[in-house]
């Protein structure tokens, strides 16, 4: 039987911890089925086999932190029909975007024995800061079911079921008791996009915003409430400036505190 | 669901063992028993095994954006106020499969979901919650199109109602005319009483099957002291500080451009908590899912909220892009246009939206401000 | 050009001057003429002195803009019962569009100078004529705006993510030593 | 005694006479018999139930069409209500589901739920002039009413179809409009926003055609369908012309997920657009049109 | 010149992160050889400064998606060291259990998906699945057992959320953990079979004289605590790590090379642990190793795959015991007042020791951070191995050499993401 024409999938990495592409390998129950539906054409973490582009779907992990990254992502874009960025690094610059708030050149000069070896930008930025992106999948790391959903939707020509609303809705759906109301715990849930599976509130801690800002978040109102609950300005700033520090809404809100 | 009971019966008096026997009897009927239990720093409605799972001695303190469990000075099992979420979870679950479809040569077949099973027994339903159940029953059945799932779950459920003995700071059922007294819509009604340190439950049947069950428990009749104590409990619960002028609130729709909408939008997180905890909010969306091959598809119904952007999406964009419009939609529907649609208000005064709003926005204050009963 | 003895009934019958006062009508008659345009003939041209306006009695007139090397753009068509030309009221009295007869057009024309003179002299007439023209102008404006909305266009696809400003610092010192397998491989194998 | 509570809980939840036979949320498979391309992005499908039988509906009603695995979309029925043997839908491909619909071919299946919603009250216009005002693909939901009016032609005064399209290439049902225009008992006026090619007809918005009249405003019923802005202005133009706002009917679109009043999405003021609409009497909703982001 | 060859592997496959290999050969002799890590630095130590100490475990977890526990736990230990917290036994056990989860997940992934294809001449595990689908299905199932431990205790497999300084935010219930029992029993059997399978591979005959370094614990095969020992005879507490290890900046790597201060190199990871702690292996693991022909000393880097499989047996069995013995503790964590100080933490990540040192202020903000991950320490020995492997295969084609060299690198399961977070911060002040 001739092999069906399967869409070509490529997985790319920029500055990141690998966790999001590892999520792909963590789809233990679905991985083999997935490879029957897509052709893995470029995925260094999984295979040394490399097929040339263009690729039907590219998953891009990681943020842009070097001049060379900028060139590379443009080439990836050129080679990809659909470009999906996965994870907080790719969609908002990731944890390493915390450098954006400090003087990186200073660091390197003072710290590395040979600063001339180090070639880096002063900022860590999202992929969509550099090339058009078709879909941004949030999370630090992404949720594997959401990742499968996006691939599945792309394969089946439907809209991915990835809500942009608050984490609170997901907490309520799962019947999780609100940490903020019931215990006074600081929580970014009301301004964070749902999708993690109610992880932190389910483990008795406040949401730390690893899925980034929800649609039209009212960060100022939440920050005011966090203040009432006893969070210091610095504490509020840190909350917003962590895993999605360079997303517009969180960056701006964090800048207003501390 | 309770059927009308023509004859009034004399109240029985159950003790904790009697209550346990009642729960066991319901379990023997093959029912899934749902009642209050302690979990995650709150009393929630969840599956319970026995009466020992009930939150004996636990109460709660509730205010705008604030809930704390607190120890009671007695061992009342129904003294916890209201749980974070009502019985909507059981009667209209957050995720429901609508159908499954399978691709076949030249087309596809559609399989409706299996009927809900097993029947429920709901332990500890308050008056406001009975009202909420009734309101959803109208939404899901009082018109040309019914939701068979809701109707089946409700009509097969056994409802053990419980009288409130005290009100939370967020309760305003009295002003909505939905409580605190449980008057109808139950199979068995319990009022928790302490008479000379004896902990008991005055139990009345509200349906034939309730009466049958109570009779089978062979409990003694409640004495005058217990009946009197039950009356006092209801009176206590009726003392509520929060009020909503339901009549005036009808008029909310007349103020679509009131500056208060902007003020509340400054605070509102549009997180959707109020709608999710509201026992009458019924909005849902659907999700189509497929297997990777695309041979099997399913549609699921999920709770939705008018606070999400997608809620009002028509091709091109969302109709209600601003928080003010979304908040306005929620509260005007709840208190005003619901009456046009169903002949009564959508709010039952349970106060959950006040307690569980992370920033403590209070529906009664907003309604009063916009209808001009209070200074802005 | 035929000038019938009495154009009064034609003026009275036309919706534009519906209910006009007899005295005013008589003043109007003095400036009016009956005209006929074959299909393709122009009632007036953009930029020309606006010496007349026309009450369309029959036929269709295209209000259009000429463009070199391409067919003219039709802004609007007007028909029986409507009015062509309003630039005669406003200085410098120059037509702002071309008006072309699409079909055979019968119209009552009014001499602008004549009418303006009478309007100056008789503010009642002046007010009445203006009162009738202003709604026409308002309608034109509103119709033009609705047209600009392109109401029936396909709805815009859900906002595609566009490239945000390139915030990244492009200047960076130090040799780029990182061997770029991704880039090179992609390029090499791109081939064409 | 808490009467509403008691009533709601104890009254039969469904009137057995009108009880739906099946779960309204479960689609019924239909087979595509024919597909005709109307415009570059618009197409008309003829469907028959796979299990056989007929499909009855009122003009103006809609169905939820389900594309296997992709999703559902509300689409007005645009066929002749007198012909129950075939279900006709005209769809414009503007989103994921409609594009997936567009990709289907004769012989393929899709799911249908419906019919839902209110209808054009054709009978209420008996004895009147009947003016249809359509914009863009808004002609499709009106077509069943035009068929019904023509089937009862002698009961009306003048019957006029005023239709505005974007360009001459965007005129829906062009041949049918030509045929109608040829009838002595039906007036068809078409205008385009932008003239292209050899278009020799009217240019300008459809409300201009209303202003020109040709009907007796005091004795006219009008059915208006098109983009919401167009309907608002058309209704205003009709009102200005003297048509009673209680005799103007419009068809409103909002987000619909269930089609039968259960999901809450399509609420517009006190109305469920899916159930109380899509066809509304203009005077009952005129105020709602004026409220932003309602 | 005709006999000058340059062999480049510009992007290493089946490793975490992105690395490269450059070899220059002239006249049949290697002239230059670099194992390059071009993954850009992410400056973790820099932006940790000024953060609250409680945030550090979660933030440092982002250094690596495959061994977040190594960071969560190492950072927590260092903070506990500062605050003077000793966790209770149940918390300690639960920590070991979740660490077992990470090892199972990581080792199963590496053994089957990343490394085994090399020994079978296949490009990847998907090709392996075509040859023997059930083998790959079992591998995935084994990996999933590890992930399920992580998810049950931590909430998710990558960057779990339930761990904190002093213990856990929330404890799993006995019921939740008991659900893992049956799968773990299966996992013990399967990992024994894995040892047998990979023990049967063909290994190039290379013996290296490494200086191993690993944690050692009196009562167990050290994973999450112990003293540091080396095959050269050193034995010191974790807090003295930096007295013995220094870091060097080489031009071809964005990762600093960690190496012993007294010169030479050291090797961390499964081989190091096995050689230094063979006596602490459980019976089942030891038997499996023996059956696969491993002695108490293994110095062939290519046999690391067998050692990894032996460790899989060890952690599957440990996990099973911990699950069976779990009693829900009363408290999820141990608390203590904040105080200023310096603390150290070190654990055995699946690929070797991962060291943390922090100094915090009296308000709990981080003054200084230093993290030395395993792959950075192994860079030097990887190059030494490569030197030998390439030299031994010079007669072969470039492609063959590349494959061999890649395999030699994969022996170390290098985690490049970990290796490049570097920044020495003490020099920045001033």
The predicted pLDDT at position E282 comes to 96
Q: Which of E8, E38, E251 sits opposite C178 (nearest CB)?
A: E38
Nearest to D97 by CA among A156, A84, B310: A156
pLDDT in tens, C52-67: 999 999 999 999 998 8
* Integer angstrom CA distances of residue C5 from C8, C22, C34: 9, 17, 11
What integer is the mean pLDDT of E285-314? Answer: 96
Q: Which of C160, C163, C190 sits opposite A53 (nearest CB)?
A: C190
Q: Which of C182, C188, C190 sits opposite A12 (nearest CB)?
A: C182
- Chains touching A, CB cut-off 8 Å, 3+ pairs: B, C, D, E
Residues E91, E97: Cα–Cα separation, whole Å:
10
What integer is the mean pLDDT of A103-124? Answer: 69
Q: Please report which confidence band the pLDDT of residue B370 belongs to, taking 50, 70 and 90 as the band edges.
A: very high
Domain span including residue E277: 44-378
At residue A55, does pLDDT exceed 70? yes
Tens of pLDDT along chain D (294 residues)?
233 343 444 444 434 334 444 688 999 999 999 999 999 999 999 999 999 999 999 999 999 999 999 999 999 999 999 999 999 999 999 988 999 999 999 999 999 999 999 999 999 999 999 999 999 999 999 999 999 999 999 999 999 999 999 999 999 999 999 999 999 899 999 999 998 878 889 999 999 999 887 899 999 999 999 999 999 999 999 999 999 999 999 999 999 999 999 999 999 999 999 999 999 999 999 999 999 999
Measure in Å the smallest separation between the Cα of B282 and chain D Cα atoms: 7
Measure in Å the smallest separation between the Cα of D17 and chain C Cα atoms: 42
User: Same domain for D97 and D192?
Assistant: no
At residue E7, does pLDDT exceed 80? no
**Average per-residue pLDDT in chain A?**
91
Chain D hits for A156, Cβ within 8 Å: 69-70
Residues 176-195 of A with CB under 8 A from D: none
Name the burial class of residue B194, with classes exposed (0-12), middle (13-18) and buried (19+) by CB atoms within 10 angstroms of its CB: middle
D135 in contact with C at a CB cutoff of 8 Å? yes
D257 in contact with A at a CB cutoff of 8 Å? no
The predicted pLDDT at position A113 comes to 61
CATH number of the domain within which D179 lies: 3.40.50.80
The predicted pLDDT at position E16 comes to 62
User: Same domain for D278 and D140?
Assistant: yes
Q: What is the CATH number of domain A8-156?
A: 3.40.50.700
The predicted pLDDT at position A4 comes to 58
| Number of domains, chain E | 2
What integer is the mean pLDDT of A110-124? Answer: 69
The predicted pLDDT at position A115 comes to 64
In a domain, D101, yes or no: yes
* Integer angstrom CA distances of residue C139 from A40, A235, C143, D204, D210: 61, 59, 6, 12, 12
**Average per-residue pLDDT in chain E?**
89
Chain B hits for C151, Cβ within 8 Å: none
Chain B hits for A149, Cβ within 8 Å: 289
E13 in contact with C at a CB cutoff of 8 Å? no
Interface C–E counts its CB contacts (< 8 A) at 24
Residues B68, A177: Cα–Cα separation, whole Å:
11
Among the residue ranges C94-103, D85-94, E88-97, E260-269, the one predicted with the least confidence is E260-269
pLDDT in tens, B125-140: 999 999 999 999 999 9
In a domain, C171, yes or no: no
Which tops the pLDDT comparison, E46 or A118?
E46
Q: Which of D96, D103, D104 to mutate to test the interface with A (most CBs of A within 10 A)?
A: D96
In a domain, C163, yes or no: no
Residues E271, E283: Cα–Cα separation, whole Å:
18
Residues A42, A154: Cα–Cα separation, whole Å:
18
Residues 157-186 of C with CB under 8 A from A: 160-170, 172-178, 180, 182-183, 185-186
Would you list the domain boundaries of chain B? Answer: 12-93+109-237, 246-281+304-370
At residue B86, does pLDDT exceed 80? yes
Chain C hits for E8, Cβ within 8 Å: 179
Residues D62, E353: Cα–Cα separation, whole Å:
66
Please give the backbone phi and psi of residue A183, each rounded to the nearest 5 degrees, phi first.
-135, -5
Domain span including residue D37: 28-116
The predicted pLDDT at position C21 comes to 85
End position of a domain, from candidates D116, D137, D168: D116
User: Same domain for D273 and D129?
Assistant: yes
Contact D192, D177 (CB under 8 A): no
At residue B2, does pLDDT exceed 70? no
Chain A hits for C185, Cβ within 8 Å: 50, 52
C-beta atoms of B269 and A217 within 8 A? yes
The predicted pLDDT at position A47 comes to 85
List the single residue in E with minimal CA-CA distance to A100.
Answer: E47
C-beta atoms of E20 and C181 within 8 A? yes
| Percent of chain E clearing pLDDT 70 (strictly above) | 92
Measure in Å the smallest separation between the Cα of C187 and chain E Cα atoms: 14
Q: Which residue has the tokens 């030479």?
A: E264
Domain span including residue C107: 4-152
At residue E178, does pLDDT exceed 80? yes
In a domain, E383, yes or no: no
Two structure tokens written together for B280: 């009458």
Interface ipTM? 0.89
User: Same domain for E336 and E417?
Assistant: no
Chain C hits for D232, Cβ within 8 Å: none
A200 in contact with E at a CB cutoff of 8 Å? yes
CATH number of the domain within which C68 lies: 2.60.120.10
In a domain, D153, yes or no: yes
In a domain, D40, yes or no: yes
User: Same domain for D106 and D232?
Assistant: no
A228 in contact with D at a CB cutoff of 8 Å? no
Which tops the pLDDT comparison, A115 or C22?
C22
The answer, yes or no, to whether the previous bond of D115 is cis (omega within 30 of 0) is yes
Chain E hits for A102, Cβ within 8 Å: 46-47
pLDDT in tens, E116-125: 998 998 888 8
End position of a domain, from candidates D75, D91, D116: D116
Residue D117 backbone class (left: φ over 0; alpha: ψ -120 to 50; beta: rest): left
C-beta atoms of A172 and B307 within 8 A? no
Chain B hits for D103, Cβ within 8 Å: none
In a domain, E385, yes or no: no
What integer is the mean pLDDT of B286-294? Answer: 91
User: Same domain for D181 and D265?
Assistant: yes
In a domain, D15, yes or no: no
Chain A hits for E425, Cβ within 8 Å: 111
Residues 106-135 of D with CB under 8 A from B: 107-109, 111
Residues 152-181 of C with CB under 8 A from E: 177-181
3-class SS string, chain B = CCCCCCCCCCCEEECHHHHHHHHHHHHHCCCEEEEEEEECCEEEEEECCCHHHCCCCEEEEEECCEEEEEECCCCCCCCCCCCCCCCHHHHCCCEEEEEEEEEECCEEEEECCCCCCCCEEEEEECHHHHHHHHHHHHHCCCCCCCCHHHHHHHHHCEEEEECCCCCCCCCCHHHHCCCCCCCCCCCEEEEEEEECCEEEEEEEECCHHHHHHHHHCCCCECCHHHHHHHHHHHHHHCCCCCCCCHHHHHHHHHCCCCHHHHHHHHHCCCCCHHHHHCCCCCCEEEEEEECCCCCEEEEEEEECCCCCCHHHEECCEECCCCHHHHHHHHHHHHHHHHHHHHCCCCCCCCCHHHHCCCCCCCHHHHHHHHCCCCCC
Would you list the domain boundaries of chain A? Answer: 8-156, 167-255
C-beta atoms of C168 and A76 within 8 A? no
Q: Do chains D and E touch (3 or more CB pairs under 8 A)?
A: no
B311 in contact with D at a CB cutoff of 8 Å? yes
Measure in Å the smallest separation between the Cα of A159 and chain D Cα atoms: 7
In a domain, C157, yes or no: no
pLDDT in tens, E125-168: 888 999 999 999 999 999 999 999 999 999 999 999 999 999 99
Q: Which of A117, A119, A121 sits opposite C168 (nearest CB)?
A: A121
Tens of pLDDT along chain C (192 residues)?
444 557 888 888 888 888 888 888 888 888 999 999 999 999 999 999 999 999 999 999 999 998 888 888 888 999 998 999 989 998 889 998 999 999 999 999 999 999 999 999 999 889 999 999 998 888 888 888 888 888 898 876 544 443 443 433 333 332 222 323 333 333 344 433
In a domain, E197, yes or no: yes
């Amino acid at each position: 039987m001739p092999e069906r024409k399967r869409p070509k999938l490529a997985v790319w990495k920029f500055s990141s911890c690998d966790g999001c592409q590892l999520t792909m390998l963590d789809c233990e129950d679905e991985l083999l089925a997935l490879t029957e539906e897509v052709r893995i054409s470029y995925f260094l973490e999984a295979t040394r086999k490399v097929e040339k582009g263009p690729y039907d779907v590219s998953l891009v992990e990681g943020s842009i932190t070097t001049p060379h990254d900028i060139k590379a992502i443009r080439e990836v874009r050129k080679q990809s029909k659909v470009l999906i960025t996965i994870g907080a690094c790719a969609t908002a610059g990731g944890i390493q975007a915390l450098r954006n708030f400090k003087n990186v050149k200073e660091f390197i000069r003072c710290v590395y024995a040979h600063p001339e070896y180090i070639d880096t930008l002063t900022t860590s930025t999202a992929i969509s800061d550099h090339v058009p992106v078709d879909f941004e999948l949030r999370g630090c790391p992404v949720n594997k079911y959401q990742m499968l959903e996006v691939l599945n939707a792309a394969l089946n020509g439907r809209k991915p079921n990835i809500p942009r609303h608050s984490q609170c809705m997901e907490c309520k759906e799962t019947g999780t008791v609100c940490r903020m109301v019931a215990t006074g715990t600081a929580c970014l849930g009301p301004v964070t996009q749902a999708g993690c599976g109610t992880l932190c509130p389910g483990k008795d801690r406040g949401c730390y915003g690893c899925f980034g800002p929800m649609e039209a978040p009212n960060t100022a109102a939440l920050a005011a409430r966090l203040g009432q609950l006893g969070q210091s300005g610095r504490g509020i700033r840190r909350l917003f400036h962590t895993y999605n520090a360079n997303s517009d809404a969180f960056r701006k809100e964090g800048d207003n505190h501390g | 669901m309770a059927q009308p009971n023509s004859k009034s019966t004399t109240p029985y008096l159950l003790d904790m063992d009697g209550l346990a026997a009642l729960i066991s009897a319901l379990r023997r009927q093959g029912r899934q028993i749902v009642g209050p239990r302690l979990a995650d720093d709150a009393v929630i409605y969840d599956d319970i095994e026995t009466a020992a799972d009930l939150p004996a001695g636990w109460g709660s303190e509730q205010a705008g954006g604030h809930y704390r469990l607190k120890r009671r000075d007695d061992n009342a099992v129904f003294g916890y106020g209201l749980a974070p979420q009502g019985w909507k979870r059981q009667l209209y679950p957050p995720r429901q499969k609508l159908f499954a479809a399978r691709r076949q040569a030249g087309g596809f077949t559609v399989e409706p979901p299996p009927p809900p099973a097993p029947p429920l027994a709901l332990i500890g339903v308050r008056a406001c919650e009975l009202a909420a159940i009734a309101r959803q029953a109208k939404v899901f059945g009082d018109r040309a199109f019914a939701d068979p799932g809701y109707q089946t779950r409700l009509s097969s459920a056994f409802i053990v109602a419980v009288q409130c003995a005290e009100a939370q700071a967020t309760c305003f059922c009295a002003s909505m005319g939905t409580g605190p007294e449980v008057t109808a819509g139950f199979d068995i009604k319990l009022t928790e009483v302490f008479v000379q340190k004896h902990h008991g439950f005055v139990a009345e049947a509200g349906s034939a099957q309730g009466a049958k069950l109570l009779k089978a428990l062979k409990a003694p009749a409640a004495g005058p002291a217990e009946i009197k104590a039950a009356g006092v409990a209801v009176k206590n619960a009726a003392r509520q500080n929060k009020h909503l002028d339901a009549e005036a609130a009808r008029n909310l729709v007349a103020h679509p451009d009131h500056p208060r909408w902007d003020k509340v939008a400054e605070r509102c997180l549009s997180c959707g908590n109020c709608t999710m905890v509201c026992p009458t909010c019924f909005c849902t969306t659907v999700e189509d899912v497929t297997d990777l091959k695309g041979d099997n598809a399913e549609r699921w119904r999920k709770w939705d909220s008018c606070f999400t952007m997608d809620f009002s999406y028509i091709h091109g964009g969302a109709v209600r892009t601003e928080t003010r419009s979304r908040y306005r939609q929620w509260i005007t529907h709840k208190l005003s246009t619901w009456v046009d649609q169903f002949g009564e208000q959508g709010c039952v005064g349970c106060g959950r939206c006040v307690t569980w709003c992370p920033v403590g926005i209070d529906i009664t204050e907003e309604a009063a401000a916009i209808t001009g009963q209070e200074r802005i | 050009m035929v000038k019938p003895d009495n154009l009064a009934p034609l003026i009275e019958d036309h919706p534009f001057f519906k209910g006009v006062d007899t005295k005013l009508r008589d003043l109007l008659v003095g400036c009016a003429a009956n005209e006929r345009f074959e299909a393709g003939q122009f009632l007036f041209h953009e930029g020309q002195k606006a010496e007349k306006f026309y009450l369309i009695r029959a036929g269709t007139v295209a209000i259009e803009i000429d463009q070199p090397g391409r067919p003219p753009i039709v802004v609007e068509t007007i028909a029986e019962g409507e009015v062509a030309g309003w630039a005669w009221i406003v200085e410098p009295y120059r037509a702002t569009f071309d008006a072309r007869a699409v079909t055979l057009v019968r119209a009552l024309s009014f001499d602008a100078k004549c009418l303006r003179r009478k309007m100056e002299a008789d503010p009642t007439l002046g007010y009445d004529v203006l009162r009738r023209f202003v709604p026409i102008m308002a309608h034109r404006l509103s119709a033009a705006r609705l047209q600009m909305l392109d109401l029936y266009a396909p709805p815009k696809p859900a906002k595609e993510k566009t490239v945000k400003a390139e915030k990244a610092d492009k200047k960076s010192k130090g040799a780029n030593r990182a061997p770029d397998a991704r880039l090179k491989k992609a390029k090499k194998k791109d081939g064409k | 005694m808490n009467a509403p509570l008691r009533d709601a809980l104890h009254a039969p939840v469904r009137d057995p006479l009108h009880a739906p036979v099946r779960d309204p949320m479960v689609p019924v498979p239909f087979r595509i018999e024919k597909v005709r391309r109307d415009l570059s992005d618009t197409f008309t499908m003829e469907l028959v139930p796979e299990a056989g039988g007929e499909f009855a509906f009122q003009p103006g009603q809609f169905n939820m069409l389900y594309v296997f695995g992709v999703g559902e979309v509300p689409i007005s029925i645009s066929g002749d209500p007198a012909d129950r043997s075939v279900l006709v839908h005209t769809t414009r491909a503007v989103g994921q589901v409609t594009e997936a619909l567009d990709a289907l071919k004769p012989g393929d299946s899709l799911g249908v739920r419906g019919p839902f919603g209110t209808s054009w009250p054709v009978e209420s216009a008996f004895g009147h002039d009947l003016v249809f005002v359509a914009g863009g693909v808004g002609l499709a939901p009106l077509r069943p009413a035009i068929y019904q009016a023509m089937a009862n032609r002698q009961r009306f005064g003048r019957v006029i179809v005023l239709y505005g399209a974007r360009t001459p290439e965007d005129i829906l049902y062009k041949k049918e409009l030509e045929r109608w225009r040829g009838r002595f008992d039906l007036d068809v006026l078409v205008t385009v926003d932008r003239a292209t090619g050899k278009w020799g007809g009217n240019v300008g918005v459809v409300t201009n055609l209303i202003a020109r009249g040709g009907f007796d405003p005091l004795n006219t019923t009008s059915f208006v369908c098109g983009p919401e802005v167009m309907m608002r202005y058309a209704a205003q133009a009709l009102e200005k012309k003297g048509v009673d706002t209680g005799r103007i009917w419009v068809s409103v679109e909002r987000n619909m997920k269930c089609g039968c009043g259960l999901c809450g999405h399509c609420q517009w003021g006190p109305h469920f657009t899916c159930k109380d609409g899509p066809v509304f009497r203009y005077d009952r909703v005129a105020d709602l049109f004026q409220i932003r982001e309602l | 010149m005709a006999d000058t060859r340059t062999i480049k592997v510009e992007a290493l496959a089946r490793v975490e992160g992105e690395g490269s290999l450059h070899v220059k050969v002239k006249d049949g002799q290697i002239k230059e050889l670099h194992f390059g890590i071009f993954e850009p630095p992410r400056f973790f130590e820099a932006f940790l400064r000024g953060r609250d100490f409680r945030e550090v475990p979660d933030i440092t977890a982002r250094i690596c998606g495959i061994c977040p526990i190594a960071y969560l736990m190492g950072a927590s230990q260092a903070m506990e060291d500062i605050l003077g917290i000793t966790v209770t036994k149940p918390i300690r056990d639960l920590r070991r259990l979740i660490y077992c989860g990470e090892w199972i997940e990581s080792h199963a992934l590496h053994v089957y998906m990343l490394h085994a294809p090399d020994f079978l001449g296949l490009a990847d595990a998907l090709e392996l699945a075509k040859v023997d689908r059930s083998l790959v299905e079992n591998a995935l199932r084994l990996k999933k057992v590890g992930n399920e431990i992580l998810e049950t205790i931590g909430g998710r497999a990558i960057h779990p959320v339930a761990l904190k300084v002093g213990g856990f935010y929330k404890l799993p219930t006995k019921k939740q953990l008991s659900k893992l029992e049956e799968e773990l029993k299966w996992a013990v059997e399967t990992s024994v079979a894995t040892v047998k399978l990979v023990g049967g591979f063909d290994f190039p005959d290379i013996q290296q004289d490494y200086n191993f370094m690993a944690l050692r614990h009196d009562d167990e095969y050290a994973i999450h605590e112990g003293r540091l020992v080396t095959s050269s005879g050193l034995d010191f507490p974790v807090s003295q790590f930096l007295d013995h290890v220094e870091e060097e900046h080489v031009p071809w790597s964005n990762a600093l090379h960690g190496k012993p201060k007294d010169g030479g190199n050291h090797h961390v990871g499964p081989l190091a642990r096995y050689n230094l702690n063979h006596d602490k292996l459980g019976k089942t693991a030891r038997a499996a190793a023996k059956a696969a022909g491993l002695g108490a000393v293994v110095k062939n880097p290519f046999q690391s795959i067998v050692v990894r499989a032996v460790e899989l047996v060890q952690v599957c069995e440990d996990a099973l015991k911990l699950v069976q013995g779990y009693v829900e503790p009363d408290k999820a964590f141990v608390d203590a007042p904040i105080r200023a100080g310096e603390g150290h933490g070190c654990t055995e990540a699946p690929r070797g020791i991962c060291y943390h040192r922090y100094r915090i202020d009296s308000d709990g903000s981080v003054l200084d951070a230093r993290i030395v991950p395993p792959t950075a320490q192994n860079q030097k020995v990887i190059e030494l191995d490569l030197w030998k492997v390439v030299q031994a295969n010079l007669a072969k084609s470039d492609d063959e050499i590349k494959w061999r060299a890649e395999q030699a690198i994969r022996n170390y399961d290098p985690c490049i993401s970990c290796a490049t977070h570097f920044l020495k911060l003490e020099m920045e002040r001033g």
